[in-house]
A and B are shown apart, each in its own frame.
Chain A
Amino acid sequence: MRKISFPRIGNYEVPFRYFIKNVFNAETVTPPANTKRTLELGSMHSPDFVCAPFKYIMGNYMEALDMGADTLIQFGGPCRLGYYGELHEQILRDMGYEFTMINLAEINMKNPKSVWEIIKSYNENLTIETLVKTLLVAVAMVEKMDELEIYIRRNIGFETEPGTFEQLYNVFLADIEHVESKKELKQLCAYHTKKIKNVKTDLPKNLLKVGIIGEYYTIMEPFSNHFLEKELAAMKIYVTRNMNISSTVFHRRVPKILKKVQHYVRYDIGATGVDTINAALNFAKRDYDGLIHVKSFGCMPEIDAMTILQNISQDYEIPILYFSFDTQTSETGVQTRLEAFQDMIYMRKGKR
């Protein structure tokens, strides 16, 4: 039986495992959550000024192969991500690893027949019915996770009994991984959602609200952003971040976004740059006290988005804190800047 592994990002290993198990009829090897070791391993074997996600994923692959994985998946993406897989494979082979690479960037997604043939080549017994069913459940899983995570992110700083949200959410994740059908998933979700939404919280009246925007790997993978959201929650800040797999992969409509940001941008500026601008505008128009922009060093579409964010910040008088994470970012540096930012938005709120 194949042992398939995949890159870590947020909590998405749950739907990834579900999908791989059912579609490829294979075992999964989940690489350990990202740590300093992952990053060090990855950086050691990556080109110098490639963006940090490349280095994290490199580390994930190495750790997974050392754990016994024999097949790796790379999902591809609209920016440099789309070329990651080929170079990862090359570097790993040069290092002497032996494995099969399933690089989705090689597959022409607009041609369903070729997609089907490629998937089928990894699992002869697969039926179209199973594929469609699994896909629907996995998508529903991701959507539900994203929905719940948005709710938890906003409220976790204010739970009356610290740790409740995290514990309930982990139970939810453990439960949904073993569902058989979409119906079962729906029931489970309803049950857990109710439980999570019933957690007692104590939101103060004069709430500090911060929106998080930025490049999609760094924003979704908590280790790569130094657990920014957790830090903010500990500072009693209401945190909103709407970028996730649902909003960037399943429900992304560029023309619609471009219409919303037309006052600042005429063309799609690449990858999810316009999504960042749109999110910033949405937060700025509502009652948010500040924005935090995160990205990995050198992310080009986000750098371009920053020039536009500066104008939005000026026009709507909303402060924006910019973080650019690379492999050498200091923990204390992040902490200090966050505290200063919190003080600043707190004082501004007092003045208003």
Chain B
Amino acid sequence: MKIGIPKAFLYYRYGYLWETFFRELGFEIVLSPDTNKAIIQSGTNHSIDESCLSSKIYLGHVEWLIGKCDYILIPRVATYAKDQIVCSKLWSAYDVVQNIFRDRDIKILDYNIDYAKNKTEFMAFLKMGRRLRKKRFSILRAYFMAKQAEKMMGERHLQEQNELLNKSDDLKILIISHSYNINDRYIGQPVLNYLRALDCTPIIAEIVERRAATLKAKEISPTLKWSYNQELLGALELYKKDVDGIILLTTFPCGPDSLVNEIIIRRTKDKPIISLVVDEHDGTAGMETRIESFVDIIRFKQKGVPGCEK
């Protein structure tokens, strides 16, 4: 049996967990390709105009998988704690896909994470495994293997990032962007590549010790409830002293970012900061100029070029 995984949204957070879990249970995985023009086009065609680019991309990936696998994995994630929520696009992903593609005869494999209502990840995976007719023991084994893989990869990424932070003499630019944006071939990758071409070292805010970052965020912004934004805001505080500039990279019109980025800009006085917004029409075109001038200004300031003093 083949399980289809859309390479968008939560894939970039749970990819290792999912892939290990299903492989351990003996399933074949069909992963949609990196985001391309065709995927964006199909996602846009299936979306309500005003949806955010990230959710349009998600629908494009789901559409790509239709007919290529037995099940498409679409989790629903609502809360990680009583006083937190995640973006409502992830609350509704399952129902939106179900309604949009209802004539296409698709089978969705879903699970529900809602810690505020005591729906834990562990129970969710157990239930999903049972639905796939696996024995309880093999499910447990697969889940723990998957958690192990997830943890190892998380630690490796953190370690790599720390090395970058300590070693490099290049200009370090912190990019504050959701995991599904910074890792996307169409949104984040061009920005990362361009920064590297300018001899900068991009530091990715999304790679962070999550618990520490969340705690930090609560100090800075007590009424912030969106878990992923809390992690990013906390990461900003944790990494700020080691970087030379900050890029806020978001998709149009992201709900949580529309408020949180404004808070970040208003509360970060000691580092240069720019905000880049990507939509499906222009993509990252035109951004090169902005990034280049941003980097130039930071370098001028550091060199003390007249008119650009610190």
Known: A300-B87, A303-B50, A306-B48. A80 touches B258 (CB 8 A): yes
B253, A90: Cβ atoms under 8 Å? no
Interface window among B24-32, B93-101, B145-153, B156-164: B93-101
B87, A267: Cβ atoms under 8 Å? no
Q: What is the CA–CA distance of A197 and B220 in the complex, to the nearest angstrom?
A: 53
| Residues on the B chain within 8 Å of A324, using CB | 50
Task: Tell me the smallest distance from the CB of A341 to a CB of chain B, in Å.
Answer: 19
| Residues on the A chain within 8 Å of B260, using CB | 83
Q: What is the CA–CA distance of A268 and B112 in the complex, to the nearest angstrom?
A: 11
Interface window among B14-22, B121-129, B185-193, B261-269: B261-269
Task: Tell me the smallest distance from the CB of B55 to a CB of chain A, in Å.
Answer: 9
Q: What is the CA–CA distance of A106 and B221 in the complex, to the nearest angstrom?
A: 10
Q: What is the CA–CA distance of A268 and B51 in the complex, to the nearest angstrom?
A: 18
A307 within 8 A of B: yes
A99 within 8 A of B: no
| Residues on the A chain within 8 Å of B91, using CB | 267-270, 301
Interface window among A42-50, A151-159, A332-340: A42-50
Interface members, chain B 63-97 (any A CB < 8 Å): 76, 78, 83, 87-89, 91-92, 94-96
| Residues on the B chain within 8 Å of A271, using CB | 88
B216 within 8 A of A: no
Task: Tell me the smallest distance from the CB of B65 to a CB of chain A, in Å.
Answer: 18
Closest to B89 in A: A300
Task: Tell me the smallest distance from the CB of A68 to a CB of chain B, in Å.
Answer: 26
Task: Tell me the smallest distance from the CB of B166 to a CB of chain A, in Å.
Answer: 33
Interface size on B (CB < 8 Å)? 41
| Residues on the A chain within 8 Å of B261, using CB | 47
B223 within 8 A of A: yes
A86, B221: Cβ atoms under 8 Å? yes
A307, B96: Cβ atoms under 8 Å? yes
Task: Tell me the smallest distance from the CB of A43 to a CB of chain B, in Å.
Answer: 13
Closest to B102 in A: A311
Q: What is the CA–CA distance of A273 and B94 in the complex, to the nearest angstrom?
A: 14
Interface size on A (CB < 8 Å)? 43
A273, B88: Cβ atoms under 8 Å? yes
Q: What is the CA–CA distance of A87 and B224 in the complex, to the nearest angstrom?
A: 10
- What mask results when residues 248 to 280 of chain B are scored 1 for a CB within 8 Å of chain A, else 0? 000011111011111100110000000001000
Closest to A80 in B: B255
Interface members, chain B 197-229 (any A CB < 8 Å): 221-226
A265 within 8 A of B: yes
Most chain A CB inside 10 Å of its own CB: which residue of B225, B255, B266, B267: B255
| Residues on the B chain within 8 Å of A222, using CB | none
B255, A268: Cβ atoms under 8 Å? no
Known: A265-B95, A298-B50, A304-B95. A103 touches B258 (CB 8 A): no
A106, B259: Cβ atoms under 8 Å? no
Known: A103-B223, A268-B78, A311-B99. A303 touches B48 (CB 8 A): yes
A135 within 8 A of B: no
Q: What is the CA–CA distance of A265 and B76 in the complex, to the nearest angstrom?
A: 12
A47, B259: Cβ atoms under 8 Å? yes
Q: What is the CA–CA distance of A108 and B223 in the complex, to the nearest angstrom?
A: 10
Task: Tell me the smallest distance from the CB of B146 to a CB of chain A, in Å.
Answer: 23
A79 within 8 A of B: yes
| Residues on the B chain within 8 Å of A270, using CB | 88, 91-92
Q: What is the CA–CA distance of A91 and B52 in the complex, to the nearest angstrom?
A: 25
| Residues on the B chain within 8 Å of A49, using CB | 252-254, 258, 277
- What mask results when residues 256 to 273 of chain A are scored 1 for a CB within 8 Å of chain B, else 0? 000000001111111101
Q: What is the CA–CA distance of A324 and B49 in the complex, to the nearest angstrom?
A: 11
Closest to A94 in B: B266
B267, A307: Cβ atoms under 8 Å? no
Q: What is the CA–CA distance of A166 and B110 in the complex, to the nearest angstrom?
A: 51
Q: What is the CA–CA distance of A251 and B49 in the complex, to the nearest angstrom?
A: 33
| Residues on the B chain within 8 Å of A31, using CB | none
Most chain A CB inside 10 Å of its own CB: which residue of B225, B253, B259: B259
The 7 A-B pairs at the shortest CB distance, nearest first, are namely A270-B88, A269-B92, A49-B253, A304-B92, A47-B262, A270-B91, A298-B253
B interface residues (Cβ-Cβ under 8 A, vs A): 48, 50-52, 76, 78, 83, 87-89, 91-92, 94-96, 98-100, 102, 110, 112, 221-226, 252-256, 258-263, 266-267, 277
11 A-B interface contacts by CB (under 8 A): A49-B252, A80-B258, A83-B223, A83-B259, A86-B224, A91-B262, A266-B95, A298-B50, A301-B88, A304-B92, A308-B96
A interface residues (Cβ-Cβ under 8 A, vs B): 47-51, 54, 76, 79-80, 82-87, 90-91, 94, 103, 105-106, 108, 264-271, 273, 297-298, 300-301, 303-304, 306-308, 310-311, 324
Given contacts A85-B223, A266-B94, A298-B50, 4 further A-B contacts (CB under 8 A): A80-B259, A83-B223, A106-B223, A297-B50
